[in-house]
Amino acid sequence: MQPGSHSGRTYVVTGAASGIGAATTRWLRGQGGRVVTSDLHDADVIADLATERGRRALIEGVARIADRIDGVVANAGGGPVETMLALNFFGAVATVEGLRPMLAGDAPRAVVVSSVSSLGPFDDRLVAACLAGDEAAALTAEQEAIAAGKNALDLYGSAKHALNRWCRREAVTPQWAGRGAVLNAIAFGVVETPAAAWILNDAGARDQMKQMAPLAGANPAKADQAAALIGWCVSPENSLMCGQVLFADGGIECLARGDARW
């Protein structure tokens, strides 16, 4: 990446108060970019993206701060089991779709942050409702899945699976690629953040990670490493990659899916 390639560019980063979002904010600012941050606290725009009100607050808050933007990083995610779909799918989609009209300049870019959890078993009904844009049906299906014993990781994986597919579908449309706006997803493995502490502090889970992720199992990724990849994806240099789901996971996806699809 050319030094100063982010100078003069304005970005929006959600989930910016900690973890990957905070690291991405630091990285972009270190490269000369201007960053408008959003989170539940300690941010320029306070917004709960699991709610319609919060999504409106994000768009309106960004519009008050910047008249145009060059890039969006839809990073906000995780959360309690009851809001897995509302935040991790509908909140992410509302972020990039709601801010898309503000994307301007010569190199508009957007990234949605996904997860290697998207490779796991997913709930067809949940995913179908997400891709249909029917949040009410998705939340009803989510409540029924919880009652049937599905846990947070099950729902999280379904939400991220749907997000990957949404990205693949939308990135090549006239609204995105047709106007030169680049949209991609990055599916991270385990990254050293507060949200991943329950894995990193468990000896059994760490041993399992060593087997699953040959490159990064013994040394999980740092948030700054994740930020650098996000930074490239929203940079002007990323001019050809469109609708891709980048698995930055130390080899988990490669071992899980192998080479048969090729």
From the list 99, 106, 69, the residue with the least C-alpha distance to 180 is 106
Contact indicator for 160, 119 with CB cutoff of 8 Å: no
Q: What is the CA radius of gyration of the chain?
A: 17
Catalytic positions are 156
Cα torsion 57, 12, 91, 191 to 10°: value is -140
d(CA 57, CA 221): 32
Instruction: Please report which residue ranges of the chain form alpha helices under DSSP H.
Output: 19-30, 52-65, 84-85, 92-99, 124-131, 135-147, 152-170, 197-200, 203-212, 223-233, 252-257
Contact indicator for 234, 73 with CB cutoff of 8 Å: yes
DSSP H or E stretch at residue 247: strand 245-248
Max Cα–Cα distance, the chain, nearest Å: 52
